[in-house]
Chain A
Amino acid sequence: MKFAVVVFPGSNCDHDAYHAARHVLGQDAVFVWHKETSLQGADAVILPGGFSHGDYLRTGAIARFSPVMNTVTAFARGGGPVLGICNGFQILLEAGLLPGAMLRNKDLKFHCEHVHLRVEQTDTPFTLRAPVGQTLRIPIAHGEGNYFAEPDVLRDLEASRRVVFRYCDTSGIATPGSNPNGAVNNIAGICNEGRNVVGLMPHPERACEPALGSADGLVLFESVVSALAAQASLP
Chain B
Amino acid sequence: MSAHDSAVLERHGLKPDEYDRIVQALGREPSLTELGIFSVMWSEHCSYKSSRIHLKKLPTRGPRVLQGPGENAGAVDIGGGLAAVFKIESHNHPSFIEPYQGAATGVGGIIRDIFTMGARPIALLNSLRFGPMDGATGARTRRTVEGVVAGIAGYGNSIGIPTIGGEIAFEDCYAGNPLVNVMCLGIARSDALVKGNAGGVGNPVYYVGARTGRDGIHGATMASAEFDDRSAEKRPAVQVGDPFMEKLLLEACLELMKGDALIGVQDMGAAGLTCATSEMGARGGCGIEIDVQHVPQRETGMTPYEIMLSESQERMLLVVKRGREAEVEAIFQKWDLHAARIGSVTETGLLQVKSRGETVAEIPNAALVDEAPVYDRPTARPRYLDEVHRLDLESLTPVSPQQALGSLLSSPTIASKRWVYRQYDHMVRTNTLVLAGMGAGVVRVKGTPRALAMSTDGNGRYCYLDPRRGAMLALAEAARNVACAGAVPIGATNCLNFGNPEKPDIMWGLVEAIEGLSDACRALDIPITGGNVSLYNETDGRAIFPTPVIGVVGLIEDASCALGRSFRAAGSEIVLLGASVGRGDAEPKGRAASAGLGGSEYLKILHGLIAGDVPHLDLEAERALLALLAKATAGRLLLSAHDCSDGGLAVTLAESAFDSGGIGCLVDLPAEGAMGEWDVLADLFGEAGGRVVVSVAAGSLGPLMDLAAECGVPARRVGRTGGDRIAVTVGGRAAIDWKLADAERLWSEALAQYFARPAA
Which A residues are within 8 Å of any B CB, using their own CB?
A: 9-10, 12-13, 15-16, 19-20, 33, 49-51, 53-56, 109-113, 139, 141, 143, 203, 205-206, 208-209, 211-213
Contacts and interface: CB of A to CB of B under 8 A. Distances in A.
Contacts of A16: 428-430
B336 interface: yes
Nearest to B149: A109
Contact of A110 (B157, B335, B427, B444): B157
B430 A109 contact: no
A109 B423 CA distance: 7
B435 interface: yes
Contact of A205 (B153, B154, B423, B430): B430
A9 B244 contact: yes
A205 B247 CA distance: 21
Given A10-B244, A54-B158, A55-B158, 16 more contacts: A9-B335, A12-B247, A13-B428, A16-B428, A16-B430, A33-B334, A49-B428, A51-B158, A51-B160, A109-B150, A110-B157, A111-B422, A112-B425, A141-B425, A208-B430, A212-B433
Interface string B410-433: 000000000001111111111011
A107 to B, nearest CB: 10
Nearest to A56: B244
Contact of B423 (A12, A19, A112, A209): A112
Interface in B109-163: 150, 153-154, 157-160
A54 B423 CA distance: 17
14 contacts: A51-B244, A110-B153, A110-B157, A110-B423, A110-B425, A111-B422, A111-B423, A112-B425, A112-B427, A141-B157, A143-B157, A211-B433, A211-B444, A211-B559
Nearest to B423: A110
B430 A12 contact: no
Given A53-B244, A112-B424, A15 B429 contact: yes
B560 interface: yes
Contacts of A211: 433, 444, 559-560
A207 to B, nearest CB: 9
Contacts of A15: 429
Contact of A141 (B159, B334, B427, B433): B427
Nearest to A51: B158
Nearest to A209: B430
A206 B425 CA distance: 12
B422 A113 contact: yes
Contacts of B559: 211
Contacts of B247: 9-10, 12, 51, 54
Contact of B430 (A9, A33, A143, A212): A212
B94 to A, nearest CB: 21
Contacts of A112: 157, 421-427, 436
Nearest to A139: B427
Contact of A213 (B242, B244, B435): B435
Contacts of B244: 9-10, 51, 53-54, 56
Contacts of B335: 9
A212 B425 contact: no
Contacts of A111: 422-423
Nearest to A35: B334
A203 B422 CA distance: 15
> What are the 5 closest A-B residue pairs judged by CB atoms, nearest first?
A12-B160, A54-B244, A51-B158, A141-B425, A16-B430
Nearest to A14: B160
B248 interface: yes
A152 to B, nearest CB: 34
A131 B428 CA distance: 28
| Size bracket of the B interface | 20 to 34
B446 A12 contact: no
A33 to B, nearest CB: 8
Nearest to B335: A9
Contacts of B436: 112
Interface string B730-751: 0000000000000000000000
Nearest to A55: B158
A13 B247 CA distance: 13
A215 to B, nearest CB: 12
Interface of B: 150, 153-154, 157-160, 242-245, 247-248, 334-336, 421-430, 432-433, 435-436, 444, 446, 559-560
B242 A141 contact: no
A16 B425 CA distance: 14
Contact of A9 (B336, B421, B426, B435): B336
A206 B421 CA distance: 17
B435 A13 contact: no
A213 B433 CA distance: 8
A33 B333 CA distance: 13
Nearest to A213: B435
Nearest to B146: A109
B243 A54 contact: yes
B444 A54 contact: no
Nearest to B562: A211
A10 B158 contact: yes
Contacts of A205: 430
Contacts of B422: 109-113
Contacts of A55: 158
A141 B245 CA distance: 21
A33 B158 CA distance: 19
B430 A50 contact: no
A128 to B, nearest CB: 24
B244 to A, nearest CB: 3
Contacts of B153: 110
A137 to B, nearest CB: 13
A212 B158 contact: no
B104 to A, nearest CB: 12
Residue among B154, B160, B245 with most chain A CB within 10 A: B160
Residue among B247, B436, B444 with most chain A CB within 10 A: B247
A16 B430 CA distance: 6
Contacts of A206: 427-428, 430
A109 B149 CA distance: 11
A10 B248 CA distance: 7
A112 B423 CA distance: 6
A13 B703 CA distance: 43
Contacts of A208: 430
Nearest to A12: B160
Nearest to B421: A112
A33 B252 CA distance: 13
A34 to B, nearest CB: 10
A205 B429 CA distance: 10
Contacts of A53: 244
A110 B336 CA distance: 28
Contacts of A56: 244
Contacts of B435: 213
A193 B325 CA distance: 50
Nearest to B447: A23
A10 B425 CA distance: 15
Given A53-B244, A112-B424, A19 B432 contact: no
B177 to A, nearest CB: 26
Contacts of B157: 51, 110, 112, 141, 143
Contacts of B159: 12, 51
A53 B248 CA distance: 10
B428 to A, nearest CB: 6
A12 B436 CA distance: 19
B160 A13 contact: yes
A33 B334 CA distance: 10
